[in-house]
Amino acid sequence: MTLPINQKASEGRSWIVNHFAERWVTANGLASALCARQLIPRDHKLTIHRKVQDHGAAWAALWDAQNNDMWDRGKPSPALIDLVEQREDLFQPLAADGRRKKVLVPGCGRGYDVVMLALHGFDAYGVEISATGVATAQSYASEELQKPQAYNFGKQRSRSASPGNVTFIEGDFFKTDWELNALKGGEALFDIIYDYTFLCALHPDMRRQWAARMAGLLRDDGYLVCLEFPLYKDPALLGPPWGLQGVHWDLLARGGDGVPNSGTAPEITEADQLSGRFKRVLYIKPARSYEVGQGTDMLSVYARK
């Protein structure tokens, strides 16, 4: 006998988690899952997730159904704004040769961070899997760039750089067609890449692929900026969002698989003792962040080794 999962009422599971889970499980499997409060058990027959290759279509379906409000924060990241404005030693919008630096935001949503970064002088690119998402971001940008709201800037705003360009691209982050088309034959590398709620939206099986793709898209002298979220969520609980405590460092610096329960070693500060492609150059608790992560979010900056 099989029982349908009630997407609105299953104990301990969010609606978005259910969207990515299989709709049918055995009665025993459902009982086991609920009794375990959705901890990922090893001994029951619950098929936890859709096939990984179907996840892009699942996210696009949420956009098409106008369910993007589930992850829409309504404004750019306060933590990222403060970092860009306070650490001008790391985040100058112009390179030494005068060219404007390029910033990439994968899974950019409505484009709040993309527009904010352009207003701080960068050429900013946002990638979304959904045509609906790209159209939504383009509509937001066309209005916001004409009359920027105060939430795009922090107290430390000191730059007078002219705004950069904004480009939104429909594409699969893990494929190369979007970058070749978007950059029109130019250098397909970015000076800065920013991740917030992109890694946590990916199935854990894709984490190594995420780290490799980041390394491949970033210039040798570039920075990968991660607003690490959610750190309060047990990594054993079902996602998305998936809990990421310790995941970024394990993937990027240690060169691990990003699965905390696989036996991660204590952190080592000497980058040359680690096999990852990155070294962490900054790790702080931001004074400001979104309400959902305030007090638990961490902000990390990684450089290529």
**Claim to verify: residue 208 and residue 92 sit in the same structural domain:** yes
Find the domain containing 26 and state its range.
Answer: 2-48
In whole angstroms, what is the distance from residue 105 CA to residue 116 CA? 11
Higher pLDDT, 239 or 144: 144
Burial class of residue 282, CB neighbours in 10 A (0-12, 13-18, 19+): middle
Interval 166-215: pLDDT, tens = 999 999 999 998 887 777 666 779 999 999 999 999 989 999 999 999 99
**Claim to verify: residue 163 and residue 295 sit in the same structural domain:** yes
**Claim to verify: residue 291 and residue 156 sit in the same structural domain:** yes
**Claim to verify: residue 93 and residue 198 sit in the same structural domain:** yes
Q: Classify residue 253 by its DSSP letter.
A: I
Rounded mean pLDDT of the chain?
82
Are 158 and 136 contacting, i.e. CB atoms less than 8 angstroms apart? no
Strand-strand pairing, 102-106 and 2-4? unpaired
In whole angstroms, what is the distance from residue 304 CA to residue 277 CA? 6
The backbone torsions φ and ψ at residue 231, rounded to the nearest 5 degrees and listed phi first, read -95, -10
**Claim to verify: residue 131 and residue 246 sit in the same structural domain:** yes
Q: Is 255 left (phi over 0), alpha (psi -120 to 50) or beta?
A: left
**Claim to verify: residue 157 and residue 27 sit in the same structural domain:** no
Instruction: Name the domain count of the chain.
Output: 2
Are 47 and 63 contacting, i.e. CB atoms less than 8 angstroms apart? no
The predicted pLDDT at position 3 comes to 30
Strand-strand pairing, 298-304 and 218-228? antiparallel
Interval 61-88: pLDDT, tens = 888 777 777 778 999 999 999 999 999 9
In whole angstroms, what is the distance from residue 75 CA to residue 69 CA? 12
The predicted pLDDT at position 43 comes to 37
**Claim to verify: residue 27 and residue 120 sit in the same structural domain:** no
